[in-house]
Amino acid sequence: MAAKSTIKSEGGKVRRVIVVGGGLAGLMTVIKLCEAKVPVDLISLVPVKRSHSVCAQGGINASVNTKGEGDSPQVHLEETAYGGDFLGNQPPIKGMADAAPGIVYMLDRMGVPFNRTAEGLLDFRRFGGTLFHRTAFAGATTGQQLLYALDEQVRRWETTDVTDEHGVSLPGEKMVRKFEFWDFLQAILDDKGNCVGCVAQDLKSMQIKHFAGDAVVLATGGCGIIFGRSTLSVICTGTAAAAVYQQGACYANGEFIQVHPTAIPGADKLRLISESARGEGGRVWVPKDKNEKRAGKDVPEKERDYLLERMYPGYGNLVPRDIASRAIFQTCFHEERGVFNPTTGKNEDEVYLDLTHKDEKFLRGKLAGILEIYEKFAGVDPYKNPMKVFPAVHYSMGGLWVDYERDVKGSLKIGSPRNHSTNIPGLYAVGEVDYQYHGANRLGANSLLSCIWGGMACGPAVASYTKNLAKSALDLPSSTWEKAEKKAQAEYDRILKQNQDKKDTENAYRMHQELGDTMLRDVTIERHNDKLEKVLAKLDELDERVKNVKSTDDSPRVNQGAQFVRHLENMLVLARVIAQGAKNRDESRGAHYKPDFPKRNDEEFLRTTLALHEKKGAIKYVRELDYAIHGAAVHVTDAVDTTLVAPRTRSYEQAGAASAAAVGKLDPKSQQSAGKGA
Amino acid sequence: MIMAEKTTAKEGSGKLVHLRIKRQDGPGKDDTIRWEEFKVPYLPLMNVNSALQQIQKDPVTTAGKTVAPVVWEAACLEEVCGSCTMLINGKVRQACSALVDSIAPGGEMITIEPMSKFPCERDLIVDRSRMFESLKQVKAWIELDGTHELGPGPRESQESQEERYPLSRCMTCGCCVEACPQYSDASSFIGPAALNQVRLFNLHPSGAMHKNARLESVMGEGGVADCGKAQNCVEVCPKEIPLVDSISVVARETTKRMLFGWLLK
């Protein structure tokens, strides 16, 4: 039986849900919760307007088909499943692809300054893994514009009063309360193992405090900082995911890390140059002569090797990211044909990404945002010179395992409390921190979509979960919160105090660099089991040495040093999940590539990797999971639902290969060869 | 991948970057204000952000004293989030896009301070919440009926999109208000960033339906009339937003509203 009031607890407090993370997924979840009359506490590491979603550049996919190409959500579904090498559960993908046009229209209504056609309609451009113009965009800062639109709507909810069942305002209670500059520490679980809130730390006063909530939603983004430098913001350490993983949440497909083919090398960050550069006509090449000394712009057309166009004539420069990254890596690392640098006398790990053949006014209208970044950070004018780029860690397809409920049409059933639920009841995950939607490789411009769609699915799921709770979490005895706060405080005090008097201690920042170098070298584009063994041994070593870390800071205010020690400890935990998962998967699929096992093996590996924390340094891999929502048991296995698009061999040599089934051009032979694990 | 080794290996150049940083332990703790100097190893393509990261790895001043590493806000490191705004050699800008090669090509000392117009939280971190509160005051949003499917938004010409898009790139970084002589803790002037939002939302067909409420929110004390027309804001805006134009548009519109608004009541 549900609690008497959905608005107030029996103790008279306003019932709230806690959303952690204020990027696109978190903010969309907040908006959906508010629309369902569920008040929210929104916790974020940074002011939400500065979340990592702001970095997304190229656009958001939706099969609106305004160019008359015959695009449809069915094609979008197929290309997403195919692009993900069939590791993604298809009902959630179908839900997302079907909802995409409506999502772009909603953003349009929110005032996002999307680029327009001459007729005043939304303009769409091409992205990787498709031949259709499916990507809506606002210059080359689409993520920023989308984040701002949702941030504005959430700010509006911040000024809106909570009302009771009779529509009467509750004085002083706003629909959204923001807690910015707060770091998530732990979920709080009740005796039955349900999530009833979380503990977080104010990063200014360093105060540790509990947040009681009928549910907690983690929308805390990716974990690319585990790889040292990446295209991610420095806040994307994966610390919240690692924390709840250690509390029993399952982590799925951790080994699937996307390496983006085109980023600018840098000392602190590898800055992304969006796929939209290629979507708008950019071409990747290296000089045919590996000792070519002339500047890129002076190398004549016939002396250039347009490697992607040569290797993949069907999709050319717009092959999916895993394929483009491998091709560039092959060219630079194995063939040593990267751009020659006369100063160092070496072939650098760089290829050209060239837009100089395009009209400058056209480029300014569509790509100014990224070309500015190149100009500012590389110091070279990309309108006149080919850019120099190299692959960089970009996105985690894996993440916290989340459930979904399938409806009769094979789509995701909106309003089911199972959607986006982790295996800890009351704990939800959405956005890059979850593992849903992208399988073994994410297509470009599907991330903004999956974040917003995820929020649209997660919000109603959480509302339905909380409204059917027998008792509000806020009515739990105060000892629940005191215990949780005490434990978190003790953890923090340990970090502050440990090794303070010792000599020969470790520095957390330097250790992070070691971790990053190891992961970047051996757990990205190409993976070898012997090297992965060494990575795991290195992680053992770091697990030992991290105990010897001394916080560089003992200040009672804004103590970033101690905070970083916590993040580092958590990064080590997730690094192991990633590396061990990679070791276990003896096949090649999407972003996971083992030269010793170059083929996909559906018979053994068309399944989700499910990792559970056993103890420090030990992972338990399972084939099935059990959990319960409102007392009803849910049993799931690691089987992937591929009932909507049958698995087939994934290849991009032939134009249209990725959409062949939806457009009725599937060669029956190709379907056979892959389903059986070729 | 090899990229890691290229820039993180011990650089043999021996070249150092010289930083002089203003530090403070917390809000109101003016007695703790001090300058500390650091010399950190130079890295190719280095910016002020990565120089500060080097201090974290070895927090020792040039005087040989081990100190707590300098704290600062950082997130995207590509000048799109607005976090790492600070004063670098006296100029307000983002630390991520301040390349060492261009600000100190000959190894000159780089002076770093927190922004002066906001309360200092510690070292280079300041509290910019006043700017976010201003966004509430001017109702910088579209009054959306809901996020359910209601079809496309209003059609828009390419020209109109090209006018709105640059205005919409404001990161709430604080450069404009830092440079503004009228903006301070002693004045209630709302500042260029929020006024630009008034223009942005009043340009949108749905936003324009609530145009007057936005104009009225900046008509009183601390509103658009408090602008002293120094035009510093537009000089320092990292996103090159035409802030002076925005302020004059909003000033013109509020004047119209003040003169003729009563006629429409």
Average pLDDT by stretches of 10, chain B with 265 residues = 40 83 96 98 94 97 97 97 98 97 95 98 98 98 97 96 97 98 97 98 97 96 97 98 98 94 68
Would the pLDDT of A388 be above 50?
yes
What angle in degrees, to the nearest 10, is found between the helix axes of B158-167 and B192-203?
A: 160
Residues of B with Cβ-Cβ distance to A564 under 8 angstroms: 56
B71–A560 C-beta distance less than 8 A: yes
Identify which of B5, B83, B136 has the shortest CB distance to residue A159. B136
Q: Quick check: A678 pLDDT over 50?
A: no
Alpha carbon distances (Å) from B48 to A516, A644, B97, B103, B124: 21, 51, 8, 9, 12
Q: Which residues of A touch B122 (CB under 8 A)?
A: 204, 555, 557-558
In this complex, do A552 and B168 lie within 8 Å of one another by their Cβ atoms? no
If you average pLDDT over residues A517-542, what whole number do you get? 98
Structure tokens at B97: 């896009």
pLDDT at B263: 73
Confidence of residue A356 (pLDDT cuts 50, 70, 90): very high
CB contact under 8 A, B71 and A111: no
How do residues A160-184 score in pLDDT, each as one tens digit? 999 998 999 999 999 999 999 999 9
The pair of three-digit structure tokens given for residue A137, joined into one six-digit string: 């965009």
Using the predicted structure, report yes or no on whether residue A677 has a pLDDT greater than 50.
no
Size of interface A-B (CB pairs under 8 A): 231
Beta-carbon separation of B76 and A52 below 8 A? yes
Task: Catalogue the E-assigned strands of A430-521.
Answer: none
Q: Which of B58, B68, B156 sits opposite A555 (nearest CB)?
A: B68
Of the residues A30, A107, A109, A555, the best mutation for testing chain B's interface (the one with the most B CB atoms within 10 Å of its CB) is A109
Q: Which residue in chain B has the smallest CA separation from A560?
A: B71
**Closest C-alpha among A3, A25, A28, A27 to residue A15:** A3
Structure token digits, residue A503: 């000599």
Contact B150, A110 (CB under 8 A): no
Query: What pLDDT is attached to residue B5?
Result: 39
Give the pLDDT confidence of A199-236 residue by residue, as tens digits: 999 999 999 999 999 999 999 999 999 999 999 999 99
Q: Which of A154, A176, A560 to mutate to test the interface with B (most CBs of B within 10 A)?
A: A560
Distance of residue B157 Cα from the nearest chain A Cα, in angstroms = 5
| Tokens 């940074």, located at residue | A46
pLDDT tens for each residue of A9-39: 999 999 999 999 999 999 999 999 999 999 9
**Structure tokens given for A370:** 């990224």
Contacts of A525 in chain B (CB under 8 A): 1
Q: Distance (Å, rounded) from C-alpha A606 to C-alpha A87?
A: 6
Please name the residues in contact with A662: beta carbons below 8 A apart, sequence gap of 6 or more.
A72, A74, A75, A77, A78
Distance from CA of B164 to the nearest CA of A (A): 7
Do the Cβ atoms of B192 and B140 come closer than 8 Å?
no
CB A640 within 8 A of CB A606: yes
Non-local CB neighbours of A345 within 8 Å, separated by 6+ positions: none
Give percent of chain A with pLDDT exceeding 70: 98
Q: Is A425 exposed, middle or buried (0-12, 13-18, 19+ CB in 10 A)?
A: buried
Using CA atoms in the order A472, A473, A477, A480, what is the torsion angle rounded to 10 degrees? 170
Which residues from A are below 8 Å from B47, CB to CB? Answer: 266-268, 377
**Which chain B residues are within 8 Å of A155, Cβ to Cβ?**
132, 135-136, 140-141
> In this complex, which of A49, A52, A118 lies closest to B158 when CB atoms are compared?
A118
Inter-chain CB proximity B153 and A111 less than 8 Å = yes
Inter-chain contact A507–B82, Cβ cutoff 8 Å? Answer: no
Give the helix/strand (H/E) hosting A320: none
Taking the CA of residue A639 and the nearest CA in chain B, the distance in Å comes to: 32
Does the beta-carbon distance from B49 to A268 stay under 8 Å? yes
Q: What is the mean pLDDT of residues A464-475?
A: 95
**Contact list, B137 vs chain A (CB under 8 Å):** none
pLDDT tens track for A392-440: 999 999 999 999 999 999 999 999 999 999 999 999 999 999 999 999 9
Cα A528 to Cα A522: distance, rounded to the nearest angstrom: 8
Q: Which residues of A touch B9 (CB under 8 A)?
A: none
- Residue contact A52–B75, C-beta within 8 A: yes
Q: Encode pLDDT of A474-502 as tens digits.
A: 999 999 999 999 999 999 999 999 999 99
Give tens-digit pLDDT for A82-97.
999 999 999 999 999 9
Task: Return the pLDDT at A401.
Answer: 98
Q: Which residue of B has its CA nearest to A268?
A: B50
Question: How close A83 gets to chain B, by Cα (Å)?
Answer: 24
Predicted confidence at residue B4, as pLDDT, reads: 40
Measure the CA–CA gap between B111 and A450, rounded to whole angstroms. 43
DSSP per-residue letters across A77-88: HHHHHHHTTT-S
The Cα of A581 is separated from the nearest Cα of chain B by a number of Å equal to 19
Three-class SS of A287-345: ECCCCCCCCHHHCCHHHEECHHHHHCCCCHHHCCHHHHHHHHHHHHHHCCCCCEECCCC
Q: Are A505 and A497 in contact (CB under 8 A)?
A: no
Quick one: closest CA in B to A349, which residue? B3
Residues of A with active-site annotation = 321
The single-letter DSSP state of residue A657 is G
A31: nearest CB among B43, B132, B147: B147
A390: chain B residues, CB-CB within 8 Å = 3
The closest alpha carbon to A664, from A127, A70, A126, A90, belongs to: A70
Residue range A437-466, pLDDT digits in tens: 999 999 999 999 999 999 999 999 999 999
Task: Give dist(CA A528, CA A142) in Å, integer.
Answer: 37
Phi, psi of A302 (to 5 degrees): -75, -10
Residue A448 to residue A466: CA distance in whole angstroms: 27
Contact B69 A268 (CB under 8 A): no
A646/B177 Cα distance (integer angstroms): 57
Are B152 and A122 a contacting pair at CB < 8 A? Answer: yes
For every residue of A144-211, which 3-state class applies, written as one string?
HHHHHHHHHHHHHHHCCEEECCCCCEEEEEECEEEEECEEEEEEEECCCCCEEEEEEEECCCCCEEEE
Structure-block tokens of residue A106: 């909603």
Mean of the per-residue pLDDT values for chain A? 96
Residue listed under structure tokens 């974020």: A44
With beta carbons less than 8 A apart as the criterion, state whether A596 and A532 touch: no
Residue in chain B lying closest to A33 (CA): B147
Residue of A660, A663, A658 lying closest to A83 (CA atoms): A658
Q: Is the pLDDT of residue A142 over 50?
A: yes
The Cα of A53 is separated from the nearest Cα of chain B by a number of Å equal to 9
* Cβ-defined contact of B4 to A517 (cutoff 8 Å): yes
B49 CB neighbours in chain A (<8 A) are 268
d(CA B95, CA B102): 13
Nearest-angstrom CA–CA distance, A24 and A110:
14
Of A148, A153, A521, nearest to B1 by CB-CB distance is A521
Contact criterion met (CB < 8 Å) for A349 and B1: yes
**CB contact at 8 A, A391 and A329:** yes
Q: What is the CA radius of gyration of chain B?
A: 22
Q: What is the pLDDT of residue A670?
A: 61
Query: Min CA distance, A110 vs chain B (Å)?
Result: 6
Give the residue from B124, B127, B121, B130 showing the smallest Cα distance to B28.
Answer: B121
**Neighbour order of strands in the sheet with A251-252:** A399-400, A251-252, A610-615, A618-622
Say if CB A340 and CB A291 are below 8 A apart. Answer: yes
What token pair was written down for A150?
Answer: 């949702």
ipTM of the complex: 0.95
Buried b or exposed e, range A172-209, using 16+ CB within 10 angstroms: ebbbbebbbbbbbbbbbbbeeebbbbbbbbebbebebb
CB neighbourhood size of A132 (10 A):
20
According to the model, what pLDDT value does residue A674 have?
Answer: 45
Pick from B25, B75, B164: CB nearest A46: B75
**H or E element, residue A464:** helix A447-467
CB contact under 8 A, A148 and B168: yes
Hey, what are A320's tokens?
């999916």
Check pLDDT > 90 for residue A317: yes
Helices and strands in chain B: count of H runs, count of E runs: 10, 7
Residues of chain A found within 8 Å of residue B125, distances taken between Cβ atoms: 558
**B2, B76, B132, B196: best to mutate for the A interface, most A CBs within 10 A:** B76
With CA atoms as reference, the chain B residue closest to A153 would be B141
Give, for A101, the enclosing helix (H) or strand (E): helix A90-109
Candidate from B1, B46, B201 with C-beta closest to A267:
B46
Q: Which residues pair with A14 in a beta bridge?
A: A8
Which letter does DSSP use for residue B181 in this model?
A: T
Q: Answer yes or no: do A110 and B25 touch at CB < 8 A.
A: no
Band (A669; pLDDT cuts 50, 70, 90): low
Q: Are residues A379 and B75, on separate chains, in Cβ contact within 8 Å?
A: no
In chain B, residues with a C-beta closer than 8 Å to the C-beta of A55 are 76, 78, 80-81
CA A531, A270, B54 angle in degrees (round to 5)?
A: 90
The type of residue at A482 is E
Q: Which residues of B touch A387 (CB under 8 A)?
A: none
- Compute the nearest-CA separation of B39 from chain A (Å): 17
Q: How far apart are alpha carbons A433 and B56 in whole angstroms?
A: 28
Segment A617-651, tens digit of pLDDT? 999 999 999 999 998 999 999 999 999 999 999 99
Rounded CA-CA distance A64/A98 in Å is 10
Q: Tell me how far apart the alpha carbons of residues A326 and A332 are, in angstroms, rounded to a whole number.
A: 10
Closest CA of chain B from A331, distance in Å: 13
